[in-house]
Structure 1
Amino acid sequence: MARISFGTGGWRAIIGDEFIRANVRLLAAALAERMRDEGTAGEGIVIGYDRRFLSDVAAEWAAEVFAGYDIPTRVIRVAQAPTPLIMWTVKDLDLPYGMAITASHNPALYNGIKVFTRGGKDADEDVTGDVERRMGLLEGPTEDEIPSVPYARALSTGAIEEINTFNGYIDSIIAQVDMEAIRSAGLKVALDPMFGVSKTSLQTILMTARVDVEVINDRHDTLFGGRLPSPTTHTLQALKRYVVENGCDLGIATDGDADRIGIIDDLGNFLHPNQLLVILYWYLLQYKGWTGPVVRNVATTSLLDDLAARFGEQAYEVPVGFKWISGKMLETDAIIGGESSGGLTVRGHIAGKDGIYAAALLVEMIAVVGKPMSQIYAEITGQFDPHYMAETDFAFDPERKPEILDTLMVRRELPAFSEPVVRTSYEDGCKVYFADGWIIARFSGTEPLLRIFCELPTQERAERCCDEFRAFLGL
């Protein structure tokens, strides 16, 4: 088994522990050998990176290896390169593979690599499994034989080319958004890039539409201001205050690599990603006149199912990991897909998460509907039975993981829930369906955590079921 393994969002590891030059080179070599064996090496690869510590250097480490394998290598040299920009570049240049050096929303001590396939999609398990197998074969003494060309030399010979695809990516979003509607709305938006890479992209799009944009937390800080670069109600307190104190119509935040989004409404309330998915699906159906299903993962609100049914559409449930979302969207021609963690995509754009496009679409929605965000969501949810979500993350002693796995997935034991159980699913973690809700316990694919989510008609019932699961597992 290779010493590097992919989770739901690529490979992520602690800097200086597993995220080291040798492992970056190993992963690049394994992918290069796959490209050589499948006959795509001549088409080339593109590499981009975020603002994390070592991201720019690691991009050079990987590029040197691809150059050593005589694979034409393009490196995106943009001061702030969001992951969706890299995915868009893979699609735009019709390349077989792309790579982003990022650990997305993980803490500052992490970095990692995401791999993309043709069309700008997240690599599926067939690809990542094959890369892991090839890494296992390369490990050991043969690692010293991995070919590479020093970056400066490869750049001078053309083996590595530095490119800037920013304008094309921005233009692709502008072409899909009703800029005229936004221009006429006179909106004021506060932007919190969370010390990540979204500022330039979002500011360019919104200012082009004559939005008054004010930015906080935009300096380059590899420690992300000492907080997790993930947009949640806890991490966006400063943005909440700014929106209310400055009379903004909306507050927009993105995670470290800008593929996830967080929203503060006009009243200073944090809108959960579940709510954003519902709002955007409703807008695409009701106002833009689109037709088609929605795709969500096992830990995302079933209110999407109710909304789909109201419009005569269908909701599809898939495992956690955006590769499952994008794959099912292509299969069913769904118009939107997303996760409760904050990632979503819309038909006609890239097949991966894009917080920048999602933010632009939400601004368009406010302009077109002509109502504050708080009022829009209240009017949508007022048409359905209530859905309340409780979300809990539990760190645990790594030695306990086999025991917990055995309890949940092998012996399939459950607590004595206060809610009547209708059925259970073990497709991705342990999901228990109640008569009017559900609860799921699953291990994070990116962090050493057990996550328990529950959705029921009241917050009290949802939190009680989470406590019952937690106590049962001794967490």
Structure 2
Amino acid sequence: MHERAGTVALPEDLIDIDDVISAYYDVEPDPTNVDQRVAFGTSGHRGSSLDGKFNEAHIVAITAAIIEYRKSQGIDGPLFIGRDTHALSEPAWRTALEVLAAAGVDTRIDSRGSYTPTPAVSVAILGANGAPGALRTQGPGLADGIVVTPSHNPPRDGGFKYNPPHGGPADSDATGWIAARANEILEEGWHRVPRIIGSSLLDSPSIQEFNYLKYYVDQLDTVIDMEAIRNAGVRIGADPLGGASVDYWAAIAERYGLDLTVVNPVVDPAWPFMTLDWDGKIRMDCSSPYAMASLREAMTPDADGNTPYDIATGNDADSDRHGIVTPDGLMNPNHFLAVAIEYLFTHRPQWSDQAAVGKTLVSSALIDRVVGAMDRTLVEVPVGFKFFVPGLLDGSVGFGGEESAGASFLRKDGTVWSTDKDGIILALLASEILAVTGKTPSQLHREQVDRFGASAYARIDAPANREQKAKLAALSPEDVSATELAGDPIIAKLVRAPGNDAPIGGLKVTTEFAWFAARPSGTEDVYKIYGESFKGGDHLAEVQEAAKALVSDALS
């Protein structure tokens, strides 16, 4: 834990914007250096220009590869492109446009010349392809998209994601092909990729404007009971954390007549107003109590027990994550997911009674207990929102959520809304829950604890080199010889997700009262251990130590 975690950033914590942008253009990556090649993780290609991991060459190559990929798939409709507020996002957005325009790709940019949340791009893609209603995922004229964002990553980073016609994150087949082709282009000579450069770029006939904000905001009442929120007079404080949702929250307040205050409307790519995360870095993680320290402090009750807002919310830089603050404090993401699931499946009468609940296998087992009590089907998948896309598309999954505060759900009529994470609707849902039930989500969580038990949940990191991480990702149940975990018999050893039989890229071990999952990091020399115990914090510590020993034995 950094000694200044949770305190406002100092000048020495801030990036030099000019240095970061200059490095984007001046640093040319070495395609023979594995750390400087294109690599898509669970959320696209990410890295810093200062490290030779996110530079002009990367974006030229990735965009050219996407153009080839969409042509190979018969995708010839509009490509919707958005960007967040990171310093590298606008340069990368412009580079991508230069390549797209030269190729004559019908490209839709924000009509305000501003920022676009990830969910707004997803909703726009799906709308162009016929949603809600007669949604098409095959045939001529299909739309797809690109989002330029590293999500909640530090200010020095950039990110680049591809969303195919289903509107959600591309699967590993697509990203694997795109990354491989992009690296070939880097090796062959990315300078040879055709581009339209100069002031005439935005006048290119293939580049058209699209009002992402209006299209998204005008449809919110099809997914959230905005009337209930307005009529109840819920006082909302929405903090964009300097991200892409900043103008969206103001528009939502005006469009639906809500008592909503944009807590901090400032956009600055250095994020000087942020409080430091647990490790001393600036990180727009709206699920972190340290990154959310300012909003938590603003919601501290006064001597009379009053707070300025009934519900306060935060979003990360591209608005695909949510943080919920009530007068009780910042909610653990798992706790809010469990409350949201129970509320939605008891307050959406038009949803199919066969609609399932989707969760990642490192999310809390409290969700399992809540879903079981509602007699609903639980679909447990590996880490990655892409695994929820098919179910959200056809309505067979009503809600898909990740432990990292990312989720989306269906419209009120049971049709698809977004197939990427949507932090805005999850934040609004907290206010709907209060408006309809008269209780905050944290109060409802305490009721769930009374019924299903309290759990201790945490994630820690343990060191692992490249070879060990590869071995961890390839483990089989037979590699684990242990029969008990922290004093309880092991009842399952999983290397494939029970919900879709997809490889989890690691290991999950469960007992009646606890579980842990170990996955290699895609960016650091560590593996991540997620753990939970319904026997309390001391038992969780035992689970974590046993997990490290068990994984170490399996890797030896």
Q: TM-score by structure 2 length?
A: 0.79
Give distance in 2, aligned partners of 1:68 and 1:163.
20
State the SS of the aligned residue for 1:389: strand
Between the aligned partners of 1:284 and 1:68, the Cα distance in structure 2 is: 46
Alpha carbons of 1:151 and 1:72: their partners in 2 closer, same or farther (altered >3 Å)? farther
RMSD of aligned Cα (Å):
2.4
Match of 1:270 in 2: 330
* Correspondent of 1:48 among 82, 85, 92: 82
- Amino acid aligned to 1:279: V
Q: Letter of the aligned partner of 1:387 in structure 2?
A: S
Tell me, yes or no, if the aligned pair for 2:473 and 2:520 is still in contact at 8 Å: no
Distance in 1, matches of 2:255 and 2:73, equals: 43
1:445 Cα deviation from its structure 2 partner: 4.1
Q: CA deviation at 1:451?
A: 1.6
**Of the candidates 368, 379, 390, which is equivalent to residue 316 of structure 1?**
379
Asked if the contact 2:469–2:527 (Cα under 8 Å) also holds between the matched residues in 1, the reply is no
How many angstroms does 1:77 deviate by?
A: 4.6
Q: Give per-residue Cα distances to partners, 1:405-437, cap 9 Å, x unaligned.
A: 436744835777423322211231111111222
Within the candidate set 66, 69, 74, 2:103 is matched to 69
Deviation at 1:116, TM superposition (A): 0.4
Alignment match, 1:223: 270
Tell me the distance in 2 between the aligned counterparts of 1:414 and 1:112: 40
Provide closer, same or farther for how the CA distance between residues 101 and 447 of structure 1 changes in structure 2, counting only shifts above 3 A.
farther
Q: How does 1:239-254 map to 2 (within 5 A)?
A: 239-245=295-301, 246-254=307-315
Deviations 1:304-360 (A, max 9, x none): 222222122110111101101223444670110100001001023111100011111
Q: Comparing 236-245 with 76-85, which one deviates more in the overlay?
A: 76-85
Return closer, same or farther for 1:20/1:201 CA change in 2, 3 Å cut-off.
Answer: same
Identify the residue that residue 467 of structure 1 maps to in structure 2: 545
Offset at 1:92? 1.9
| Aligned counterpart in structure 2 of residue 279 of structure 1, from 339, 363, 368 | 339
Match of 1:205 in 2: 252
Cα separation, partners in 2 of 1:447 and 1:178, compared to 1, 3 Å: farther
1:258 equivalent among 278, 303, 319: 319
Matches for 1:48-127 after TM superposition, within 5 Å: 48-78=82-112, 79-94=114-129, 95-127=142-174
Q: Given that residues 390 and 459 in structure 1 are in contact (C-alpha distance below 8 angstroms), is that contact kept between their aligned partners in structure 2?
A: no
Q: Using the alignment, how far apart are the partners of 1:221 and 1:447 within structure 2?
A: 27
Q: Verify: 1:423 aligned to 2:486, yes or no.
A: no
Preserved CA contact (<8 Å) 2:507 2:519 = yes
Partner amino acid, structure 1, of 2:403: S
Compared CA separation, residues 446 and 219, structure 1 to 2 (3 A): farther
Residue 406 of structure 1 pairs with residue 468 of structure 2: no
Given the superposition, is the C-alpha separation of residues 389 and 71 from structure 1 closer, same or farther in structure 2, using an over 3 Å criterion? same
Matched, 1:443 2:443: no
Percent of aligned pairs sharing the same letter = 27
What secondary structure, in the 3-state scheme, does the structure 1 residue paired with 2:454 have? coil
Amino acid in structure 1 at the alignment position of 2:101: A
Amino acid at match of 1:262: G
Tell me the secondary structure at the aligned position of residue 286 of structure 1: coil
Is residue 198–residue 257 contact of structure 1 (8 Å, CA) maintained in 2? yes
The range that moved more, 272-281 or 73-82, is 73-82
Kindly tell me: are residues 165 and 104 of structure 1, through their superposed partners in 2, closer, same or farther at Cα, counting changes over 3 Å? same
* Residues 333, 404 of structure 2: 8 Å contact kept: yes
Task: Identify the match of residue 388 of structure 2 among 325, 341, 362.
Answer: 325
1:145–1:361 Cα change, 3 Å: same
- In the alignment, what sits opposite 1:384? 452
- Residue 163 of structure 1, CA deviation: 2.8
Equivalent residue number for residue 47 of structure 2: 13
The residue identity in structure 2 corresponding to 1:281 is: I
| Equivalent-residue separation in structure 1 for 2:200 and 2:227 (angstroms) | 47
Residues in 1 aligned to 2:59 and 2:473: alpha-carbon distance in whole angstroms: 34
8 Å CA contact 1:308, 1:314 repeated in 2: yes
In structure 2, the residue corresponding to 1:140 is in which secondary structure? helix
Deviations 1:241-295 (A, max 9, x none): 111243421110111111000111122x221221121111111122333432101
The superposition leaves residues 132-154 of structure 1 with CA deviations (integer Å, 9 ceiling, x where unpaired) of 23223323234232111125324
Q: Quote the residue 1:33 is aligned against.
A: 68
| Alignment CA distance shift 1:92-1:287 (3 Å) | closer
How far does the alpha carbon of each residue in 1:109-149 deviate from its partner, in whole angstroms, 9 at most, with x for none? Answer: 21110110113121111211221232233232342321111
Q: Compute the displacement of 1:240 (Å).
A: 1.1
Cα distance in 2 for partners of 1:446, 1:298 equals 21
Between the aligned partners of 2:474 and 2:224, the Cα distance in structure 1 is: 45
Verify the 8 A CA contact 1:48 1:100 in the aligned structure 2.
yes
C-alpha spacing 1:156/1:248, structure 2 compared with 1 (3 Å): closer
1:235 pairs, out of 281, 285, 291, with: 291
Equivalent of residue 427 in structure 2, options 355, 359, 367: 359
Question: Could you tell me which amino acid in structure 2 is paired with residue 401 of structure 1?
Answer: R
TM-score (norm 1): 0.92
Q: Give distance in 1, aligned partners of 2:472 and 2:522.
A: 19
Is the aligned partner of 1:338 residue 2:401?
yes
Q: 2:139 maps to which residue? A: none
C-alpha change, 1:203 and 1:460, in structure 2 (3 Å) is farther
Structure 2 letter corresponding to 1:441 = A
Amino acid at match of 1:271: M
Deviation of residue 159 (structure 1)?
Answer: 2.4
Find the counterpart in structure 2 of residue 393 from structure 1.
461
What are the superposed Cα offsets for residues 9-49 of structure 1, whole Å, 9 maximum, x if unpaired?
Answer: 111111232100011000000011122333324x2312110
Paired letter, 1:82: P
Between 1:217-226 and 1:177-186, the stretch displaced more is 217-226
Cα distance 1:217–1:21, how it changes in 2: closer, same or farther (>3 A)?
same
Distance 1:439 1:332 in 2: 30
Seen in structure 2, the aligned counterparts of structure 1 residues 449 and 76 have a Cα distance that, compared at 3 Å, is: farther
